[in-house]
Amino acid sequence: MKNLSFEMIGRIGVVRINRPRALNALNKPTVEELDELIEKIKKDSEIKVLIIGSDNNFAAGADIKGMVNCNVEEAKDFSFSKTFQKIYNLEIPTIAAIDGYALGGGLELALACDFRIASTNAKVGFPEINLGIMPGAGGTIRAPRLLGVSRAKELIFFGEMISADRAEQMGLVNKIVEQEKLMEVVMEWAEKLCKKPPVALRVAKKTIDAGISEPKLNYAIKIEYENWADLFNTEDQKEGMRAFIEKRQPIYQGK
Ligand code: DAK
């Protein structure tokens, strides 16, 4: 991989974007590499949590120099939406570690993750409006669901960057930490998640994501009811409850 790096730290996969000279702006080859990597991660049962982060800057958006002369068909040909949707649909928990800029497509990449942890010097936003476009890789869909319609419109219509503090107040990031502690805290979250029962985590993620996009409340409740009951078919449920009764720590097998 030319524009990305990937390493395993125990059972945690860590992806980094590596185009520092362009503040990690996402060009087409980078997103294609990311797509191939996500396909591999999907099939790798050893990976329990995925972290996406980059040194100094998360990603300053899509590469404007690669888009400036695109026509409609060429614009569609960037695989951003498809790739970010694959990340959103991963069955394992995902965490975006945001240092520096997470703008435009960079913020959309972070929004495709389950959690966002940012350093105090993070700057996030949707500057697309200032370029004559709008967010197009999940931003107009995921931001309103996460923040509410009016807050999302504020970010998207004005195109201004906001501080990590403001992002936390809005609920755009889960937590902010000092820059030098960022990866330490992200790893702590990931390690904790590794100790949870994988099947229950997977089903909880699937149920939350199905519920949030299901307009009929009764139907959403039914999905939850079925998925909840199905967990009683797992060894992890027996282990978790027996461990509680026997006053010991559970050891989950992911079955
Ligand atoms: N693209 C290309 N190069 C970029 C870049 C970007 N997004 N951001 C920064 N760079 C480059 C700069 O051009 C510069 O390189 P040189 O020109 O010196 O070679 C280098 O990184 C350092 O940047 P600056 O000199 O500008 O650094 P500053 O500290 O002064 O400013 C900044 C940092 C982040 C405020 C500024 O660079 C900036 O405003 N960058 C642009 C941010 C932006 O507008 N991002 C949104 C891009 S639009 C799609 C769906 C969605 C999308 C694409 C496709 N499909 C469904 C297909 C997403 C679109 C976007 O994200």
Summarize pLDDT for 152-204 with one digit per residue, the tens.
999 999 999 999 999 999 999 999 999 999 999 999 999 999 999 999 999 99
Q: Give distance in angstroms: CA of 60 to centre of ligand 1.
A: 5
Q: How confident is the model at residue 79 (pLDDT cuts 50, 70, 90)?
A: confident
- DSSP assigned state of 27: -
Q: How confident is the model at residue 93 (pLDDT cuts 50, 70, 90)?
A: very high
Residue type, 84: F
Burial class from Cβ neighbours inside 10 Å (0-12, 13-18, 19+) for residue 248 reads: exposed
For residue 17, what are its two tokens? Answer: 């974007």
Domain extents for the chain?
4-194, 198-246
Mean pLDDT of 48-62: 96
Instruction: Choose the residue to mutate in 27, 64, 65, 158 for probing ligand 1, maximizing ligand atoms within 8 Å of C-beta.
Output: 64
For the annotated catalytic residues, the residue numbers are 108, 128
Question: Residue 77: its pLDDT value, please?
Answer: 85
Question: Residue 76: its pLDDT value, please?
Answer: 86
Average pLDDT, the chain: 97
Q: Whose CA is nearest to atom 44 of ligand 1?
A: 127
Q: Give distance in angstroms: CA of 153 to centre of ligand 1.
A: 21
Mean pLDDT of 42-52: 97
CB of residue 66 inside a 6 A radius of ligand 1: no
CB of residue 156 inside a 6 A radius of ligand 1: no
Q: Whose CA is nearest to atom 12 of ligand 1?
A: 22
- C-alpha triplet 19, 22, 25: angle, nearest 5°: 75
Q: What is the CATH number of domain 4-194?
A: 3.90.226.10
CB of residue 250 inside a 6 A radius of ligand 1: no
User: Domain 198-246 - what CATH class?
Assistant: mainly alpha
Q: Give distance in angstroms: CA of 17 to centre of ligand 1.
A: 14
Measured distance CA(157)–CA(49) in Å, rounded: 34
Query: For residue 118, which of 132, 135, 133, 99 has the smallest C-alpha distance?
Result: 99
Beta strands in 164-255 (DSSP E): 175-177
Q: Is residue 109 within 8 Å of residue 63, measured between CB atoms?
A: no
CB of residue 115 inside a 6 A radius of ligand 1: no
Q: Is residue 222 within 8 Å of residue 191, measured between CB atoms?
A: no
Question: Residue 78: its pLDDT value, please?
Answer: 77
Question: Residue 207: its pLDDT value, please?
Answer: 98
Residue corresponding to tokens 């700057």: 123
Instruction: Note the helical H segments in 6-147.
Output: 28-43, 64-67, 72-77, 80-88, 105-111, 139-147
Residue 252 has pLDDT above 80, yes or no: yes
Burial class from Cβ neighbours inside 10 Å (0-12, 13-18, 19+) for residue 140 reads: middle
Question: Residue 229: its pLDDT value, please?
Answer: 98
Query: For residue 138, which of 95, 174, 169, 106 has the smallest C-alpha distance?
Result: 106
